[in-house]
Amino acid sequence: MERPILFFCLLFLPLVAFAQPIAVADQTFRIDGTHEFAYAFAEGDQIDLMIHLIAGRQLKSVELLQYPDRMLFRSYELDTLLHKTITAPQTGLYILRLIESGLAKKICRFTITRTPTLPENAKLDTRVGWDWKTNGQYQIARRQVPAGKKTEVISLGGKVTVGAFKFGTQRATNAYQFALPPHTKQWAYCISVGQATQEVRRKDAEKLTSTMKLGAAKMIGYEPTSALAVYALGMAIDLSLPSAGEDVEYALVDGANLPNFINGKAYDTFIYQPAVSSDVQRRYSPLEGSFYFGLRNKNWLDDIDVTLDIEAVTETPLFTEEMYLEPLRP
């Protein structure tokens, strides 16, 4: 009989015991007469109220009401300090009322926190942004609000063959097209030709292993699958590449400039390299759309295989549902 009870407790604890207090208000002011403060609370909220009379003696009364007139707590003749926890019976509008009479100067500070006990009520905007005294009619609404970002690394690589010039009998150009995914923040690429690709792959695996041993995955909050992905994420990592072997001329262009590159005419490019057997770059532009690596083979006789590894870092906005109060039209 003990195990089922323990299991029940473990299910219940995350909802109550592990909930963290959320700050609602912290105000210090000179009190004279009646002061009222309006807040929204959700059903089951543990409202923690702390009132401290910093200067002067005695407040006439302290009241917490569920609007319009349901009294939840009242205290008379507060001397110096009051600490009270009240459970919100329903989701709605609540009023903290502080009343003072007399001529002596009094300075008061109060703090309020809420501890949700129901998971569906955890996200709540406690602010009341309208004149509730002239319009006390409201409804409970929900909306999507930002809740952080999700970081991912997306691979876009591939391979393309670039024909040889063949003494002018064929065009020695080709292109590799890729589309950057939505919410791309930055990206990196590695170009390698022929046998250099194997050396690039070997060094990448070595660098990834050594980087992970240093705990880099914990630093960036993501477990990359290649050293190029680590580099794309913005970490300082040595990606020195082999320079021997066949080479290729390349340019990063958009669709409008690709035909000019292919036909040997003037074109605009984001980056141009005249002759590399391998090359690695990190890019912060462009970040949206489809683009091309225009490739030109300088070999007169032999075709070349060009491998392109591309790692795009995306930051996708995340949203969560938040509850709030909104006034009804009178």
H/E element, 13: helix 2-16
pLDDT for residue 283: 95
d(C-alpha 204, C-alpha 278), whole Å: 13
Question: DSSP string spanning 255-268?
Answer: TTTHHHHHTT----
Burial 304-323 (b: 16+ CB within 10 A, else e): bebbbbbbbbbeeeeeeebb
> Which pLDDT belongs to residue 1?
35
Q: For residues 276 and 95, what is the distance between their CA atoms, to the nearest angstrom?
A: 71
Distance separating alpha carbons of residues 209 and 81, to the nearest angstrom: 59
Percent of the chain as helix, strand, coil, to the nearest 5: 15, 50, 35
What is the three-class DSSP state of 320?
strand
Q: What is the pLDDT of residues 29-73, one digit of tens each?
A: 888 889 999 999 999 999 999 998 888 777 888 999 999 999 999
Q: How far is CA 273 from the centre of its chain?
A: 35
Residue 9: Cβ-neighbour burial (10 angstroms; 0-12, 13-18, 19+): exposed
pLDDT tops 50 at residue 3: no
pLDDT at 118: 85
pLDDT of 243 > 50? The answer is: yes
List, in sequence order, every residue forming a beta bridge with 321; answer none if it has no partner.
144
Give tens-digit pLDDT for 161-213.
999 876 666 779 999 999 999 999 999 999 988 876 676 667 666 666 666 54
The structure's pTM equals 0.72
| DSSP symbols for 84-110 | EEEE-SSSEEEEEEEE--SSS--EEEE
Q: What is the pLDDT of residue 7?
A: 31
CB 303 within 8 A of CB 170: no
Judged against a pLDDT cut of 50, whether residue 12 lies above it is answered with: no
Q: What is the pLDDT of residues 106-146, one digit of tens each?
A: 888 999 999 999 888 889 999 999 999 999 999 999 999 99
Q: CB within 8 A of 271, min separation 6: which ones? A: 251, 252, 281, 283
Of 108, 136, 84, nearest to 33 by C-alpha is: 108
Q: Is the distance from CB of 294 to CB of 173 less than 8 angstroms? A: yes
Say if residues 120 and 322 touch (Cβ distance below 8 Å).
Answer: no
Looking only at the bridges linking them, the beta strands covering 22-30 and 107-115 are antiparallel
pLDDT in tens, 64-102: 999 999 999 998 887 778 899 999 999 999 999 998 877
| Pair of tokens at residue 131 | 């004149």
The per-residue pLDDT for 206 is 64
- Over residues 283-318, the pLDDT tens digits come to 999 999 999 999 999 877 888 999 999 999 999 999
- Cα–Cα distance for residue pair 227/242, rounded to 1 Å: 16
Higher pLDDT, 300 or 257: 257
Q: Which domains, from first to last, does the chain contain? A: 11-136 (2.60.120.380), 150-318 (2.60.120.380)
The rounded distance, in Å, linking the Cα atoms of 301 and 25 is 77
pLDDT band at residue 320 using 50, 70 and 90 as cut-offs: very high
Please tell me whether the peptide bond between 224 and the residue prior to it is cis, using omega within 30 degrees of 0: no
pLDDT at 29: 86
